[in-house]
Amino acid sequence: MMESGVPICNICGEQVGLANTNGEVFVACHECNYPVCKTCIDYEIKEGRNACLRCATPYDENEQESTNHAIVASHPDTAQDAGVHARTVSFVSTVDSEYHDDTGNPIWKNRVESWKEKKNKKKKNQSKAAVQEAAEVPPEQQMEEKPQLADAAEPLSRIIPVPKSQITPYRIVIIVRLIVLCLFFHYRVTHPVESAYPLWFISVFCEIWFAFSWVLDQFPKWSPINRETYLDRLSARYEREGEPCQLAPVDFFVSTVDPMKEPPMITANTVLSILAVDYPVEKVSCYVSDDGGSMLTFESLAETSDFARKWVPFCKKFSIEPRAPEFYFTQKFDYLKDKVQPSFVKERRAMKREYEEYKVRVNALVAKAQKTPEDGWTMADGTPWPGNNSRDHPGMIQVFLGHSGVHDIEGNELPRLVYVSREKRPGYQHHKKAGAENALIRVSAVLTNAPYILNLDCDHYVNNSKAIREAMCFLMDPQVGRDVCYVQFPQRFDGIDKSDRYANRNIVFFDVNMKGLDGIQGPVYVGTGTVFNRQALYGYSPSNLPTIHKSSSSFSCCCRRKKPAKEKDLTEVYREAKREDLNSAIFNLREIENYDDHERSLLISQMSFEKTFGMSSVFIESTLMENGGVPDSANPSTLIREAIHVIGCGYEEKTAWGKEIGWIYGSVTEDILTGFKMQCRGWRSIYCMPLRPAFKGSAPINLSDRLHQVLRWALGSVEIFLSRHCPLWYGFGGGRLKWLQRLAYTNTIVYPFTSLPLIAYCILPAVCLLTGKFIIPTLSNIASILFLGLFLSIIVTSVLELRWSGIGIEDWWRNEQFWVIGGVSAHLFAVFQGFLKMLAGIDTNFTVTAKAADDGEFADLYLFKWTTVLIPPTTILIVNLVGVVAGFSDALNKGYEAWGPLFGKVFFSFWVILHLYPFLKGLMGRQNRTPTIVVLWSVLLASVFSLVWVKINPFVSKDDPSAMVQNCIDMDC
């Protein structure tokens, strides 16, 4: 990138260039001043596209030759500054948290001004050098470069819409189903069941809620899309032969807490797969957050960094996949296939031996850590380990790899690997994973400041070494990436049984719902496997988003055509189009140079920045660099000390961290909340599904752990629902969140409440069988047609959804089953726990304790752990089984005419039992043994429910003499 005052072409990424020898900048469109170079304009016109890409104004060939206008606004840095990494820090720093700068709180404004002066001088020098170099290039060579530029101007990705033959019938059926639902509810409401009014009322209420949930879930799938990337075009544009690589740097975040629950070997495989990605090593930095301050994690990373010196060159030499050694060596495939290097077999065997020895060393560390010494752990030099008290320790940073002098066994540079453990002190709220991620944002900004961030859970490894390039096809595309806050990859898992009994793969969510959201404003953030734009995490709005004036209504039509603007000074155009509220520190810094002195003093004010980002001059300067890179004014010798400062436990006090910037606090599902806040600011996200899954992880596959995981997700949704960030009322002022996107976010926070009507609806069939009543009156012909139409529309919708999404019917059915299992168990507990926590301040934890496990493949599938979450679904199963037996007994006693009504009642009971069948199998385990406590609790609840029902007998009027006589007869009065 050329850092001159000349703008950058938004198509090819090169300088726009000069229009003539007078030094005036070339202008393609005088209507909107969209920066495009002359070469790209010629190519566009040649291809038949002779209108501006932004405002669609036709190009005037005469004006193309004129030189009466010039673009005044300067553009910020791009890939050249983005590629500058501070790779000179190579020492360990374990500094006490009481550290402060010698000058206390330095006035950093002068540093910003001096930094900008250096940038301006650098721009002028490079501008002169660029003009001189352009004059020296022969015309013949310039002609040869034009085709290459044209090829590089091609888009890096494309949208593949679902074929109309699949999506049009799907939309028609959705509309038909909505109409049938309206007619169905009209019939249900106008035809109450007088003999069973309470049952009828409960059933109608539940059905209305189910219809509301269906609308929230279905309509965001209105326009699903697929995407395709072009990695070859990415390389042609940013990795030209003979030129420095211009791919953007990426900072990887890996979070871990307890090495006993998250084994170090799992984290190590994730780190090794990151260090070996197919990406320039100088552009990759891996930050491992140890939120438990464990010496075991520290020592295992030291062993991992040593093994990486051998593993990384092996992976890149033979292009193996995946690049996590544990998963590569355990693959069941012919590893000699497509391998032509004679040395491969020998080196693979040697590398496998090296890995086994490495595992022995790490496992020895794990065994040693099982028993903590009385005096705590000590390091190799005899000093106590600072993290002996996991709740009270200073911040720690260790740079393992990437600094000068550390290379692989072949002498090549390695990616940077940094160990980070933020400061912990009693009395401070640390915000768990969200707080750890925010600490990593600040540390990485001080040390490397890559413009893009990829966060992974410690148990999710890189399965596709080109995954980062896939994301860059969107983020680095000038047309696509301008307003993209993150690229989300689907989650894929290892170690799940073939039948996926408890829907661990979440295929319906990742292959159906997320594709639908990608066609609106983008998929939701799911916590891992996500590549972020760092500027979006800082709370900035997209650079191309016009400001909504306060005087305008927030509900104004977004489709209204904009009136053509009158010709005015270009500085004023940028100021009106992209200026944010000057009283806030959340603004777009792209055009900061165009503000006058008064406005600049408001923007660059010590108070506003420190209230937002905290008291670190180095970090604040890094936020001004939209395309990354370490500020010129930063002193490499003090970067580690500054990094220690920004991970202090008091750093975030009275700042916007966790409120407006970084990972957002207030929910255990901080991922949903963080993505929601970004999209409310006008950003959009992108869903990337490469043929080879980008990342793979592990998932709990036994019943108890799976329900506990779902409980945590549902609890986070309830917390968001009860917070100020609820999508039902948050973010309307800006008008930047699309309505279908808001429906999708609303669905993510209200679905736990479906547990209440779902439990009632699952008990209703048993009640009908036990009492002889029914929730539906005698059906007429019209009613029969409505019921038949409703069932057919449900079936056809599902079939068409399977068709355009490409998922199998077994995955769809497993999802339906677990929707019921989770709804009547984990979601119910999450609702009550959420209300207790948010309204009464009572934090109730449903603990899970292990019983026993079997050996063998998928042994965890049969591992059973007792938890109170298991009680409600077990009770529902027993009640429905008792109801079926009672219903058949009653039909046998009453004769032939009783079998017709029995069919409808038994059908609904079997519907419940069939959906809970995987839960029943999980209770039985491999030995078909159900814990006695589960049976006792369930039988007790079923018995109490039955006795109370008989005692109340709500269907018998107290004033009915015949009923009283019948009761006396039944009781042998």
Is residue 597 part of the annotated active site? The answer reads no
User: Which helix or strand (DSSP H or E) is residue 126 part of?
Assistant: helix 109-136
CA dihedral 767, 773, 775, 776 (to 10 degrees): 150
Which parts of 448-569 fold into alpha helices (H)?
A: 467-475, 507-508, 514-518, 534-537
Distance, in Å, from the CA atom of 762 to the CA atom of 777, rounded to the nearest integer, reads 19
User: Which residue's structure tokens are 């949930």?
Assistant: 213
> Is it true that the peptide bond before 872 is cis, omega within 30 degrees of 0?
no
SS3 state of residue 160: strand
Distance, in Å, from the CA atom of 215 to the CA atom of 874, rounded to the nearest integer, reads 30
Is residue 291 part of the annotated active site? The answer reads yes
Which DSSP letter does residue 383 get? P
Q: Give the tokens for residue 430.
A: 């640390």
Measured at the CA of 714, the angle between CA 711 and CA 717, to 5 degrees, comes to 155
Nearest CA-CA partner of 620 in 468, 765, 446, 486: 446
Q: 486 φ, ψ to 5°?
A: -160, 155
Query: Helix 739-750 to helix 670-680 angle, to the nearest 10 degrees?
Result: 160
- Taking residue 356's Cβ as centre, other Cβ atoms within 10 Å add up to 11
Pairing of strands 416-421, 225-229: unpaired
Pairing of strands 695-698, 284-290: unpaired
Which parts of 520-565 fold into alpha helices (H)?
A: 534-537
Which DSSP letter does residue 513 get? I
Burial group, residue 373, by CB count within 10 angstroms (0-12, 13-18, 19+): exposed
**Are 544 and 483 in contact, with CB atoms under 8 Å apart?**
yes
**Residue type at 352 in one-letter notation:** K
Q: Which is the catalytic residue, given 457, 477, 518, 671?
A: 671
**Are 449 and 629 in contact, with CB atoms under 8 Å apart?**
yes
Nearest CA-CA partner of 513 in 175, 805, 721, 754: 805
Q: Give the tokens for residue 360.
A: 């022995």
**Are 156 and 477 in contact, with CB atoms under 8 Å apart?**
yes
Nearest CA-CA partner of 94 in 423, 573, 438, 372: 423
Residues paired with residue 494 on neighbouring β-strands, in sequence order: 698
User: Which residue's structure tokens are 């993150």?
Assistant: 486
Which long-range contacts link 190-198 to residues 24+ away (Cβ below 8 Å)?
A: 191/777, 191/783, 192/777, 193/773, 193/774, 193/775, 193/776, 193/777, 195/773, 195/955, 196/768, 196/771, 196/773, 196/774, 196/775, 196/955, 198/954
Q: 266 φ, ψ to 5°?
A: -70, -45
Distance, in Å, from the CA atom of 670 to the CA atom of 658, rounded to the nearest integer, reads 10
Residues paired with residue 159 on neighbouring β-strands, in sequence order: 227
**Residue type at 287 in one-letter notation:** Y
SS3 state of residue 477: coil
Query: Helix 703-721 to helix 809-823 angle, to the nearest 10 degrees?
Result: 70
Q: Which is the catalytic residue, given 251, 291, 705, 811?
A: 291
**Are 395 and 423 in contact, with CB atoms under 8 Å apart?**
yes
Distance, in Å, from the CA atom of 481 to the CA atom of 532, rounded to the nearest integer, reads 11
Burial group, residue 778, by CB count within 10 angstroms (0-12, 13-18, 19+): exposed
Distance, in Å, from the CA atom of 501 to the CA atom of 708, rounded to the nearest integer, reads 16
Nearest CA-CA partner of 40 in 478, 476, 474: 478
Give the residue numbers annotated as catalytic, written as ranges: 291, 671
